[in-house]
Every structure is written in C-alpha cells, then in structure tokens.
Amino acid sequence: MTNAFTASGLFAFYLSDAGIAAEFGAAAFTGRMLAFEAAWTRGLEAAGLVTPEDAAEALSAIAAYSGSAPGSGSERDGLPVPALVAALRQGLSEGGARAIHTGATSQDVIDTAMVLTLLAVAARTAQRLQQVHAQVEGLRARFGDRALVARTRMQAALPATASLRLSAWARPLGDHLTRLGHLRDDLARVQIGGAIGTRDAPEGRGATVAAEAAAALGLGLGPVWQADRSAMVGFGHWLALVAGTLGKIGQDVLLMAQQGVDEIELSGGGGSSAMPHKHNPVGAEAMVALARFVGAQQGLLAQAMLHEQERSGTAWALEWLTLPAMAEACGASLRHAERLIASVERIGAPD
Amino acid sequence: MTNAFTASGLFAFYLSDAGIAAEFGAAAFTGRMLAFEAAWTRGLEAAGLVTPEDAAEALSAIAAYSGSAPGSGSERDGLPVPALVAALRQGLSEGGARAIHTGATSQDVIDTAMVLTLLAVAARTAQRLQQVHAQVEGLRARFGDRALVARTRMQAALPATASLRLSAWARPLGDHLTRLGHLRDDLARVQIGGAIGTRDAPEGRGATVAAEAAAALGLGLGPVWQADRSAMVGFGHWLALVAGTLGKIGQDVLLMAQQGVDEIELSGGGGSSAMPHKHNPVGAEAMVALARFVGAQQGLLAQAMLHEQERSGTAWALEWLTLPAMAEACGASLRHAERLIASVERIGAPD
Amino acid sequence: MTNAFTASGLFAFYLSDAGIAAEFGAAAFTGRMLAFEAAWTRGLEAAGLVTPEDAAEALSAIAAYSGSAPGSGSERDGLPVPALVAALRQGLSEGGARAIHTGATSQDVIDTAMVLTLLAVAARTAQRLQQVHAQVEGLRARFGDRALVARTRMQAALPATASLRLSAWARPLGDHLTRLGHLRDDLARVQIGGAIGTRDAPEGRGATVAAEAAAALGLGLGPVWQADRSAMVGFGHWLALVAGTLGKIGQDVLLMAQQGVDEIELSGGGGSSAMPHKHNPVGAEAMVALARFVGAQQGLLAQAMLHEQERSGTAWALEWLTLPAMAEACGASLRHAERLIASVERIGAPD
Amino acid sequence: MTNAFTASGLFAFYLSDAGIAAEFGAAAFTGRMLAFEAAWTRGLEAAGLVTPEDAAEALSAIAAYSGSAPGSGSERDGLPVPALVAALRQGLSEGGARAIHTGATSQDVIDTAMVLTLLAVAARTAQRLQQVHAQVEGLRARFGDRALVARTRMQAALPATASLRLSAWARPLGDHLTRLGHLRDDLARVQIGGAIGTRDAPEGRGATVAAEAAAALGLGLGPVWQADRSAMVGFGHWLALVAGTLGKIGQDVLLMAQQGVDEIELSGGGGSSAMPHKHNPVGAEAMVALARFVGAQQGLLAQAMLHEQERSGTAWALEWLTLPAMAEACGASLRHAERLIASVERIGAPD
C-alpha cells in the first residue's frame, strides 16, 4: 500500500506487502495505542495516583474499546488520540476517566505505539531476511563451484566461480541481522514526556508512572526523546540497507539473465502481452526499483531530525509519510527475493 | 493513501485525498485501460486490419468487462495487462480476439491510461488551485490594508500591510495554472510503440492505428516516448511547484499564528489530549510536511529518466511509486489550504 | 567542483567541469553583481533620483572595483553584498555613494546575478547539447541500419536496427533544447523588490528604477519573485532532464559494451591497475552517476519553494547548495557524452 | 567546497569548511593512497613474496613521491590509481616495481584511503561535537533556570525553563558521540580484494598480505566489502544525524530570536545592505539549510548500495559525489554552532 496506485489491486503485491501493511493498519495500530493506555493506567495505579477500583474500571473500558471510526477526530486534531481518549472515557465515573491518559500526551501514545509497530516490522523483516540468507547459502551449496566470469565496472574481468558473487550477496544480509540487534537498543524504548517533555505529570510522579508503563509494555525507559528522532531515522537507515542489498541482488540477476550473458536460469518470469516468447525477470526489476525507493525516502526521513521546539507536527508527519512505505517496500522486496531465489535453476555457466 | 499508515483511517484525510486516490484506483484505471483497448480496436478497424464485425464483437467484450480481480496476473507478469487482454479475448471468435490489442504492448496501455489519469488529476488539481487562489484574493480584499510587519531572514524588517504577503501567496498559484497549460502539450499524448517502439505492427500499419486510437481518446499522437519519460517527470515537477507554494503558505501561517507574533487569527484548530487550551494549526503543519514530501519524491522520480534500452521495468516502477503519492499529497494539501483560508478571521495586526 | 574530493584534481574532470564551475566562480559572479549595481545606478539616474554627476562617479567606482577578498564580509553577513556595497562606496562623495545600491537589497543583487549566471550556463549547456545531438545523428547516419536486438525489461525482445535506439537518444536531446526556450521566459527576469519586496524605494520610484535596470541588463521585468522560487526550481528540473537523458545513453552504452552482448565498439576506455587487458567505459559510468546525482538534488532544490515570509535565508541557501553542483554535473556529463560518442567505432552487430 | 559557488570565496566559509575540505584534498588523499601502497609493500615482504631489498627500493620510491599532477590519468581511467602506480614504478628495478601494488587493485587503494579519510573526518567532527556539547551544557548552567514558554506544534504550550530546551539540544549531541563508537567498528577496516574480490593474489598469498597491510595501517581486516557499501552509507547516516541535531538547534534559535518571542539574545549577527538596523541570525539559518542538505544527500548515498556485480564504477561514484560534501557541510554547521552558542547572551525570558 505504498500508494493508491500500487495498492489498487491492479498490481497485486508487486510493489506492496500485505503483512507489513497490516502492521501499520488501523486495527494493529489502535491495538498498540490501547496497549499504551492500559500500561499508563497501570502506571498511574502503581504510583498510587488512582485507586485500584478506578484503574480496573479504566482497564475494562480500554479492553472493551472497539471504535468503528478511530480516525473520526483526526480531521480536527490532525491525529486520532484526543478522540480515542474521549471515547475511552465516555460513560466512566470521574475516577475511572481520570485513570485514563492523565499526564500523558498524544505524542507519547503515537510514538510508543509506533515503536511497538516498528519492532513487529523488524521481527517480520528479520525472519524473512534470515530466510533469504539461507536461500542464498543454499544456492552457494548447489552452484557455488560453477564457473562465472567476474565482472568489474560492467566489463568481464577474470574467471571465477558463482561462489564469489553469492558470498557478496550473503554476507551483508547476515550483517544486517547483526545490525538490527544494535538498532533495537536505540529503538525499543517508550516515548513518554507528557505535555511538554518534562515527564513529571501528574502530581510530579510522571517518572514513576513512565517506568511502570515501560515495564508493562516490555520496553526500555530511557530519557524523553520527543524532539530527538534519531531512533526513527536509524530504523529507516536499516531499512535502506536491507532494501539496498536486495536491490544489488536484483540488479545482478537482471544482468546475469541477459541473453548473451546467460549466467542464470530462472523458472517462470513475467509474460508479455506482445511477445509470448519473453520471460521477464519482473521480480528482480521490482527489487531494484524498491531499493531506490527506500533509499530515496531516507533522504526525506533524515529531515525529520529538524524537529523544532518541544514537539513538531511538521517534522513528525515526515516520519509517517516515509517509514511505513519504506517498511512495506522492504517487505515486498523480500518476497520477490524469496521467489526469485527459489526460481533459480542455475547460477554460473551452463554445463 | 500515501501509505498503509496514512491511509489507515486513523488519520482520516490528514495526509491523503480520497478524490485523487480514486483516480489511481482499480476502477478508474481499469476504465482507462479499457478505453485504450477500445480505441485500439477502433484503430485496427479504421486501418482495415480487422472487419467491422470482429471490431464490434471486440468492442462489445471490452464494454462488458467487469473483472473482479484485475490484478490476478500481476503476481506473475508484474503488471495487469496480459491478464486483462486474456480475459477480454476469453470466449471470443478468432477474429474478435484478434481485434483486441493486436500490435499494442502492455506499456502502451499503461502509459496511455496513466496520461489520461494524470490529465484527470491535473483538472481536479487546477480547479482546486483556482479555488484557493480566489480565496487568497478574497483575504486580500478583506484584510489587505491591515498592518503587518514584513519579515526577512526570520527577523522583523519594516512595517508593511497584509497585502504584501498575500500577493506573494496568490501570484505563484496563478502562475502554476498558466504553467499547467504548457505542460499539457507535453503530457496529453498517447504512448504507442508496440512491442519495441517501432509503431509498425500490425502489418506495417501501426502508425495509422495509433493515429486513429489517439483521435478516439482525444489525445495527441506525437512520436513514441516509451523510453523518454520527460513528460512524466515534468508532471511531477509541476506537482512539486504546487505543493511547494502551498507549503510556503502553511509555513507563513504557522509563523504568524505564534503567540507573540499574532498576525493571524484562525477559527477551529486541532485539540490537544494534554492541553485543552491549545488550538494547533494542524492543517498548516500538514501543508509544510506534504510540500517537503512531494518535493523529495521529485528527486526519485527524476531518476526515472534512466530508462534503459527500449523499455525498462525498473525505471518505470519508479514512476508508479512516486507520481500517485505526489498527486494525492497535493490534493491533501489543497484541501488543507481551502479549510485553512476559510478559517482565517484576521490577517495582519489586530485592531 | 561538485565537492572537495571530486574537485581535488585527483579525478581531473571526471565529475566536474571547469567551464561551468567558472560561471559560478568569484570573478564571474562578482562581475554580474557589479553589472547589477551599474544597472541600478543607471536606473536611479534615469528616474531622476541621482544627478548625472553622482551617477558617473558611482559608475566609475563600480567599473574600477577589483576586490581581492570579495567574501570578506560573508563570515559576518552570510552573503557578500553588504561588504561589496561598502567597498564600492568607499571614498565616494555623499552623492556618489547614494547613487550606489540605494533602494536595492542584497537578495536583488544575488538573485539577479544568479539569473545572469544561469542564462550563461544555459547557453553553454544548450550549445553542447546541440553538439551531442548532432553527434548522435551522425551515429545514426553511419550505423543506423546495423542489426541490433531490441531489449525490453532487460530481455532480448525482437530484431531491430541501431536506428531505433539512436532515435530514442536523439529525440529527447532535441526536445530539451525546445524546453529551454520556454524556460527562459520564466527565468530571464530581474529580481528587484527592495528591502521587503514592495519595489517602491527609493522615494516611491522603485518601479521606474527597476524597469530601467532590467532594460540595462537585457532582462525582463515581471513582478517581484523574492519568495517565489519557481523559476529557480524550474531550471533545476531542466538540468535533471538533460542529465537524465545523458544518463540513459550512458546506461545503454554500458549494457551494449558487455562481453556477450557486444553491440558497441569503443576506442580508448579506462585502464585498470590490476587487469591490463580491461578497457572500462568510465565515461558512460560517470554519465549514469551524474544523472542520479542531478536528479536527486532536484528533490532538495524543490524544497526551496518553502521560502518563508518575505525572504528566507534558509530556503535560499538550498539553491546555492544544489544548482551550481547540478549545472556542473550536467557539464561533466555532456563532456563525457561528447567523448564517448566520438569514440564509437560501431553500434549494432559486428559484420 | 560543497560546490563551485559556495567554494568561490564569495561566501567565505558560510557553507563550507576548510579543515574538512583539506581531508578530501589531493595532498591528504594522495598521502593516504601512498600509505596504502607502503603497507601493501610491507605486506608483500612479510609474506615472503618480495625480497627485503626490493621492498626497500619500493618503499623509498613511495616515500619520495611528490607527483605534481596526481590526476593526470583520471581523464583516461576515471580514477588516479593506475597513473599513480605507474609513476611510483617509474625507474625502479623489475623487482622494485613488482614490490609495488602487485595483487592489489585501484578500488582497494581508494576505498582504504577513503576509510582513513573518514576516520580523520570522524575524529575532527567528534572533537567539535564535544565542544558544542560542552557549550550547550554551559548555556544550561548559566541560563537553565530562566523562564521559557514550552512550545508544541508551533503553539505556546506551558511555562517551563530554558533547561528543558537545552537538554533536548545536549542529549542527542552526546548520543551521536556514542554512536560514532559503534560506527567505527564497521568503518575502520581495510578494503582489500584484489582484482575481483577473491583476495588471493599474488600467488595465493593475498590473505596474508592483506592482514599485514591492515596491521601496518592500524585498521581491522574483516572480509572483502568491495560490493557491500553498508559502512560508507552508515557513515553518511551518522553525518545526517549530526547535521540534523545541529539543524534542530538552528531552527530553535531562529524561532526564539523572532521579535515578539524574544527568548534568545545574540551578540553580532549578519548585516543587511538595505536595513542597517537588522541583525540576521545567518549562522542559525545556515545550520538549518546544511541539515536539509546533508539529510537529502543520504537519500542518494543510500543508492550506492546498488553496487552491481563484483565492482561498480557507477555506484561507487555516488559515494564520491555525496560523502565529502556531507562531511564538509557538517563541519560548516559545527562551526556555525560554535559561534552561535558563543554569541548567546541570554536564553529564556529577559529579566
């Protein structure tokens, strides 16, 4: 669902990925906003700021929420949280209502829910990355000893074996998995600052509530990062590396599949409406295009660092406009990689 | 529907636009692909390459098409045309089948349907641009004489009137409408090249068929442009100019709406979940973010010029990944502009 | 001189262009700032705001200027104009000093000098574009009838002739020349607004002075465009189209020059430090890289549209950071194109 | 020296940085290429592939090199290494000549020299980052308790103190220093692969030579990364984070310095040629523009991941076209930050 055209159904999943799209969909994201609100209520209770009875009433309302129009307030507010909080508090006792969201702000909810979303995306992506890595290693086991002409600067260089090129595919895929480990340290933290980032509300006990909420969500605490978007930009960077390596693989396949070069044999391939004899390596083409797309978005996402004053709606929206599309593009590219590698019948010179 | 998150419904239309999205949706785009196929069949008939009876059978099948899964073949082919053509020909006589698509290729269909789509997008965008232009002129009529401190390089410069700033908003909006006139000359042309761009199939009569098809579609003919994407990139450039001027307006509003500056008074504004007294100018924020988004995409779209050999699936996909999102972002920004300007209760110094 | 590394001399002119760089150099640009100041003085005189004697004294000082450190004031002011104006007025009579720059502002000087610079760049670029266009037509005359396998989506499609591909190179080169004609209408205008864009200083006669100054510079007048950067962004767009078509040509050459494809024969080519037998098509590689570079810069330049309030130092600097490098990259790519095409000994199949 | 205009001298160091530019200059970079060649010769000797006498002759020639035209071969070869190696070998005995570069390739030399350059850039950048960090902490010590209105979404939110905003400046600066530590692990490794990346030449002893050369250069060894550009792209990402935080600071200063807001008092500031009363915060403007510049370049640099086959001249050049300019822009922004913070006479409300 990278845009209305690519998500139209006309292209099936050529440039999109249903699984990743679902992570950013209303159901999953609302679930994570509710998880934040429940954790926050638990934090308020643990800090002695609301009674167990009020907390129970609030948690019950949060668990029962099933808003059919979660974005109803966004036309007015630019984000769904005020309307969501109002809906949750609807009909509660005064104490129950106060046990919801008190001391938190919309950005706390959305940023923390986004962290949970990106962690889910990272897990899915890593799993598929491992799969592709294993497939490449499988190719190397099967075809690694076949002759392949090493090519540098688009020119034949020296005789080599398929293993040389396949190692260059496999190694960065493995490295990206390692990098994700480091990245999680930056990313897997709540964003809780309250109205302006002082993390003191309510009643000067905000830090305690935040610590409890973080624990309830299974996230680290760390300092307030409302205006420091390094972790978000860092996640985009990781996606750009992943998509980039897949794009390199796609590019190599396109070059190997040329008539006259014939260093790869693929089963299947896209049909042509004008030339029935053709089998277009359309998955490899998509991998290249998606890599350029993800890489280029990073150039915009990086500008989200210019997050003015305590909290910026403008810079924030740049994250929403880029990260979900980048993640989905990575997912689409991984799917193409899985199929493409599974369709390899030979790499290297024919017998 | 700029991506799965912004299109989730959680944000309503904060970063998306239903009308523009619909132009890129399956129904509208399939309708335009069918329009191409019908025009092509008429061209084949006019060139004497198929009989009137076969053409009638083909046109009837095209008119009756109501595929429920238009993207069914895209997983295999990377685009929906081969499956669409097969579905259209299904059950026809041999002559009827031959009266459909013969001599055309998938890229002819998609590029020409995209031209029709972009012309529809341009018309919608121009209409709303005119509306916003008129609204700005309305503001100038009402508030133009009010005092306003001119500011240069983010510093107060000299006393002026609101008219100075409002003229700087209005003028480029008008110019962009003029620019669209020139742009249409580049854009409103069929792309018809056949399998490899020679425009000769079938039976050496491709040029005649193409001319007839262009006339039937109300488009210019011009030379084959399958590997020259200047017109597509030019349309993106125009969108970047439009979004850019709107972003400038949004940025100015954000700066004028600051407490301490108070050069604008707006009714409405977004509510805060933590600070009920706040009225956030969320529409103006979106206009800035959307302008940066559209501008940045142009940096990727421009790379679609690197369209290798006769036709490139890779460079082509870059257009699909950018243009629809750019157009939709422009639409969203125009809607914010309409509302924002309508909400202005004062520009310039208070009484 | 796209950056300190590419301009180090280590790469000679592989990624730079001395002629275009010189247009943006201190000597040429200072010359154009002085041309503005002289035209402004003439305008002041024509409007009767300064005496012929004072104007003559001023013009004589402007003509005599040979500042050795033109950027001396930029560390303080962020631009060289205040220091330049102070230097010009140094030692003049009060009337002579008043006949220099009075009523103009730094942005008027720099924007107008930049317009003159871009027009010079456009003329150079167009001339070389014509040359490359003629060279491509020359190739078509020599080799157009040779067999060449048309390739679509990186796969062999159908037999064709070299003329098919060469036409796809030539046509957009010609179109870009035509587009430049339209572009000049937008670009070839002075920017004169005075301190805040009202174009009234001095003494309410600013419009007259501006008209005279424009005429003296051979530029159109048009409205104040200090905060509307459409023409600047439009010039960048044109550069991106030019570089893009050259990049497409480079990409095609790289693909044709592959061993196994052998559809082009080039004399010369870059040597390898490890493999003496290799002849790398390094010019074609540069053309691809430079096209991606120019295209990507356009994504940043487009954001210069977000020019806040009356005049923005921030958005303005984005133009300075992109346009000169884009122009120089185009120049470098044109030089590679000239040499590359001159080195073609065959396009299409060997005998 | 981000381009011919910004490096013209007209802008002094407004958008450039002499220290960083020098690291990418011919003298420094040639020195590092020579360091590689000397380390390689030592590796050849340690591996017993050349005699101590031949190695001594080679090292002596390398030490004596003082090429006046280091780029002389780049017009032909696209890079300076073949000409450099030829110059080094000039006049040596056959054994001495063989003790230079044998088994290495141009990319080994340039990539490893670039690593050494980026490490020097990182050290300079980190030192200045620490300095700016300390300055911000100094501001906090002096002004942290002053009242400052917290602002969210460009609207006044709640009363706070200057410390809140200054913490949000300081924290990411500190984090970026920590991130650099991790980054060095990825970056501080030789690139040695030989002609095609097998690291076996000469005589199957390439791995030994490489290990010795790495040790001689004080770099890690690690696997061949000729076609995996993750470390280069990762360095660009770090620069984008650094520039981004500085841009955020610049943006905040611009907003605080507005008349009507008056939350900061600066000494100095840029003069205006039209309005002598103005003091433009031109350094803060540059910090914003440079952050957008560096961020946007990352969108192109990320595409260097698409490094086709064994070694790509095209993708490689994208690194040369971006990284040096990004590093220099960071340096310029750090210099502005140093001066800007030093010029702060008050942050927060006046007495």
Q: For A316-328, what is each residue's pLDDT tens digit?
A: 999 999 999 999 9
Please, what sign has the CA dihedral across residues D44, D48, D49, D54? Answer: positive
B151 CB neighbours in chain D (<8 A) are 258
Percent of chain A with pLDDT over 70: 99
Residue D69 pLDDT more than 60? no
Q: How many domains does chain D have?
A: 1
Cα angle A335-A341-A346, degrees, rounded to a multiple of 5:
165
**pLDDT range class, residue D334, cuts 50, 70, 90:** very high
Do residues A287 and A337 touch, judged by C-beta distance below 8 A?
Answer: yes
Domain that holds residue C151: 4-347
Cross-chain Cβ contact B76/A270 below 8 Å: yes
Please indicate if any CB of chain B lies within 8 Å of the CB of A285. yes
The shortest C-alpha distance from A107 to chain C (Å) reads 25
Alpha-helix residue ranges (DSSP H) falling in C188-281: 206-217, 230-256
- Say if residue D238's pLDDT is above 50: yes
- Give C351's contacts (C-beta < 8 A, 6+ positions apart): none
Q: What is the pLDDT of residue A1?
A: 46
**A14, A151, A152, A153: which to substitute to probe chain C, counting the most C Cβ within 10 Å?**
A153
B74 and chain A: CB distance < 8 Å anywhere?
yes
Sort out which chain A residues have CB atoms less than 8 A from C299's CB and list them. Answer: 296, 299-300
Please report the beta strands in D132-172, taking only residues with DSSP state E, as ranges in sequence order: 147-152, 155-161
Q: D258, B149: Cβ pair inside 8 Å? A: no
Q: Crossing angle of helices C282-301/D282-301, nearest 10°?
A: 130
Q: pLDDT at position D75, please? A: 84
- Residue A68's pLDDT is what? 56
Q: Chains near C, with 3+ CB pairs < 8 A?
A: A, B, D
What is the sign, positive or negative, of the torsion defined by CA atoms of A167, A168, A173, A176?
positive
pLDDT value for A2: 64
Q: How many CB atoms lie within 10 A of CB D267?
A: 9
In angstroms, the CA C154 to CA C144 distance is 21
DSSP-assigned letter for residue D203 = T
Contacts of B7 in chain A (CB under 8 A): 1, 4, 7
Q: Convert the pLDDT of each residue in A243-295 to its tens digit.
A: 999 999 999 999 999 999 999 999 987 777 887 788 899 999 999 999 999 99
Instruction: Check CB contact under 8 Å for B80 and A106.
Output: no
pLDDT digits (tens, 9 = 90+) for D192-236: 999 999 999 899 999 999 999 999 999 999 999 999 999 999 999
Rounded mean pLDDT for each run of 10 residues along chain C, 351 residues in total: 82 92 94 97 98 98 80 86 95 98 97 98 98 98 98 96 98 97 93 96 94 98 98 98 98 97 89 82 97 98 98 98 97 97 96 84
Across B249-260, average pLDDT: 97
Residue whose structure tokens are 């927060």: D348
Mutate to test the interface with A, among C14, C258, C265 (most CBs of A within 10 A): C258
pLDDT at position D269 over 80? no
Q: What number is the average pLDDT over the span A152-175? A: 97
Is the Cβ–Cβ distance between A164 and A147 less than 8 Å? no
Which tokens go with C27?
A: 């000597």
- For residue B75, name the pLDDT band (cuts at 50, 70, 90): confident
The question of ipTM being above 0.85 is answered as: yes
SS3 call for B279: coil
Q: Please, what is the average pLDDT of chain B?
A: 95
Taking the Cβ of residue C118 and every Cβ of chain D, the question of whether any pair is shorter than 8 Å is answered with no
- Over the Cα atoms of chain A, what is R_g? 24
Pairing of strands B155-161, B147-152: antiparallel
Cα→Cα distances D114→B263, C329, D66, D207, Å: 51, 22, 20, 21
pLDDT of residue B185: 86
Distance CA C190, CA C194 (A): 12
State whether residue B25 sits within 8 Å of chain A by CB.
yes
Interface probe, candidates A14, A148, A154, A258, chain C, greatest C C-beta count within 10 A: A154
- Residue B191 in this model has a pLDDT that exceeds 70: yes
Write out pLDDT tens, residues B136-162.
Answer: 999 999 999 999 999 999 999 999 999
The whole-angstrom separation of Cα B288 and Cα B247 is 4
Q: Omega before C202 cis (within 30°)?
A: yes
Pick the residue of A149, A155, A266 with the most C CBs within 10 A to test the interface with C by mutation. Answer: A155
Residue of B nearest to A254 (CA): B314
| Per-residue model confidence (pLDDT) at position A217 | 98
Q: Which residues of D touch A171 (CB under 8 A)?
A: 223, 225, 228
With contacts defined as CB-CB under 8 Å, which chain D residues touch A233? Answer: 237, 240-241, 244
Residue B310: pLDDT band by 50, 70, 90 thresholds? very high
Q: Does C255 touch chain B (CB under 8 A)?
A: yes
Residues 261-280 of A with CB under 8 A from B: 268, 270-275, 280
Closest residue to A296, CB basis, from D175, D299, D310: D299
pLDDT (0 to 100) of residue A72 = 73
Residue C223 confidence (pLDDT)? 97
**DSSP secondary structure letter of residue D268:** -
Question: Per-residue pLDDT for D172 more than 60?
Answer: yes
Calculate the alpha carbon distances from C215 to A61, C56, C85, C139 in Å.
Answer: 74, 18, 22, 43
Q: Which of C241, C243, C113, C115 is nearest to C186 (CA)?
A: C115
Name the percent of chain D lying above pLDDT 70: 99
**Residue C155 maps to which CATH number?**
1.20.200.10
Q: DSSP secondary structure string, A183-246?
A: HHHHHSB----TTTS----STT-HHHHHHHHHHHHT-B--S--TT--HHHHHHHHHHHHHHHHH
The encoded tokens of residue A177 equal 């998995």
Of C10, C15, C323, the CB nearest to D321: C15
Cross-chain Cβ contact D152/B270 below 8 Å: no
pLDDT at position C4 is 87
Contacts of C151 in chain A (CB under 8 A): 258
Q: Which residues of C touch B251 (CB under 8 A)?
A: 306, 308
Scanning A154-193 for CB atoms below 8 A from B yields: none
Tokens found for residue A203: 């009643």
Closest CB to B285: pick one of D153, D262, D281.
Answer: D153
